[in-house]
Every structure is written in structure tokens, then in C-alpha cells.
């Protein structure tokens, strides 16, 4: 897989507003926020897309979601609610090919999405 801007953030080659880190996951604020809270949860071991994930990635994918949920709880927004999104490939709107979970909170989300 080619390197991406998220790889550069993980290696601290470019700055980001990092809000959470553990051995497997890095989370930082989205540069172009779509909600009052918009944080990206990124696995340190890159997977290009959800479509490229395999059963060997199951634990890592679970860790990403649990990290997002725990962060939302820590902010106090879990009770009101939030949205998690994984965009996959062109029709999904994916622009950075290093799998990531968007955590969006702080406003009412519309459904269906645009």
C-alpha cells in the first residue's frame, strides 16, 4: 500500500491535533470538520480500505470502534449520540486510502446521508 497523509501524521512528519493514542490507534481532529466534534480514528498499521480488510484485521477494527466509543463517552456526548462512518472507495466518498473511522458528534445527524 502506498503511503498517505495519515501515515505521515502517525510518524509525526506532519502536525495534527491528536486527541487520543494507544499502541494500535491514533485519533486526531479532522482538518475540515463536519460537526462540532469530528475526530478520525486511524489504525497505526495501515489498511487501505474496509474492502481490503481481512479476518486478521478483526481485532484492530474492533479496537478502532471501541476507541471512538470511549472517546465519545469521555467527551460526554455519548448519551445524546453520535455517528461513526467508514467511507469505502469512490462511491463511499473515501479520499484518504488509509482506513479510518470518522466520529461525528455535537449536532443532530441527518438520515439518509447525502
Half-sphere exposure of 35 (CA within 13 A, CB side): 19
DSSP 75-90: HT-TTT-EEEE---HH
Residues 5-44 that bind ligand AMP (CB under 6 A): 5, 16, 28, 30-32, 40
Answer yes or no whether residue 94 interacts with ligand AMP by CB under 6 A. yes
Which of these is catalytic: 38, 91, 98, 100? 100
Residue 69 CB, shortest distance to ligand AMP, in Å, is 19
CB-CB contact of 72 with 49 (8 Å): no
What lies within 8 Å, CB to CB, of 52 at 6+ separation is 1, 99
**Nearest to residue 43, comparing CAs of 62, 17, 30?**
62
Residue in 50, 61, 96, 109 binding ligand AMP, rule: CB under 6 A: 96
Residue 14 CB, shortest distance to ligand AMP, in Å, is 6
| Active site (annotated) includes residue 108 | no
Q: Would you tell me which residues interact with ligand AMP (CB under 6 A)?
A: 5, 16, 28, 30-32, 40, 87, 93-96
What amino acid positions are annotated as catalytic residues?
A: 100
Amino acid at each position: 500500500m502506498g503511503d498517505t497523509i495519515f501515515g505521515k501524521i502517525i510518524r509525526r512528519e506532519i502536525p495534527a491535533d491528536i486527541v487520543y493514542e494507544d499502541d494500535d490507534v491514533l485519533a486526531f481532529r479532522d482538518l475540515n470538520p463536519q460537526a462540532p466534534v469530528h475526530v478520525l480514528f486511524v489504525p497505526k498499521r495501515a489498511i487501505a480500505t474496509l474492502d481490503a480488510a481481512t479476518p486478521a484485521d478483526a481485532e484492530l477494527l474492533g479496537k478502532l470502534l471501541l476507541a471512538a466509543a470511549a472517546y465519545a463517552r469521555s467527551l460526554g456526548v455519548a448519551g445524546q449520540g453520535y455517528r461513526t462512518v467508514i467511507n469505502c472507495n469512490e462511491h463511499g466518498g473515501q479520499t484518504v486510502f488509509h482506513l479510518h473511522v470518522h466520529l461525528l458528534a455535537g449536532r443532530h445527524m441527518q438520515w439518509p446521508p447525502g
